[in-house]
Each structure stands twice: as structure tokens, then as C-alpha cells.
Amino acid sequence: MDLARMFDYAVERSPNETAFIDGERHYSYKEIKSSVNFVAASLYRLGIKKR
């Protein structure tokens, strides 16, 4: 299983659990997935695509 699939599994299994902590800020798996999807969609709209 690659890292992306492991992360997707964690999002499905425990979306509201803390994925990582930056100082006082806790980020859930769901928050990170949402941010990643936003960045990916933005890059796609700019014409940057996966090889």
C-alpha cells in the first residue's frame, strides 16, 4: 500500500482524528484531505496535470 492510499484509509476510518500538530494547532485528516483536494483542483485549472 502506498502513502496516498494509507492516508485515504485514515481519512475514511478516522476523519476527525488529529493527523498532525503544529504548535498549538491540531489538523484532522479530513482538514488535510480537503486542503489537498483544493490545491490539486487549483493546479488542474491552471493546466498542471499528473503525468
pLDDT digits (tens, 9 = 90+) for 13-23: 999 999 999 99
Residue with cell 493527523: 19
- Produce one character per residue of 26-45: b if its CB has 16 or more CB atoms within 10 Å, e if not: eebbbeebeeeeeeeeeeee
pLDDT at 50: 78
Percent of the chain at pLDDT > 70 equals 100
CB 29 within 8 A of CB 14: yes
Picking from 49, 10, 5, 2, the residue whose alpha carbon sits closest to that of residue 32 is 10
pTM for the whole structure:
0.81
- What residue ranges do the domains of the chain occupy? 3-45
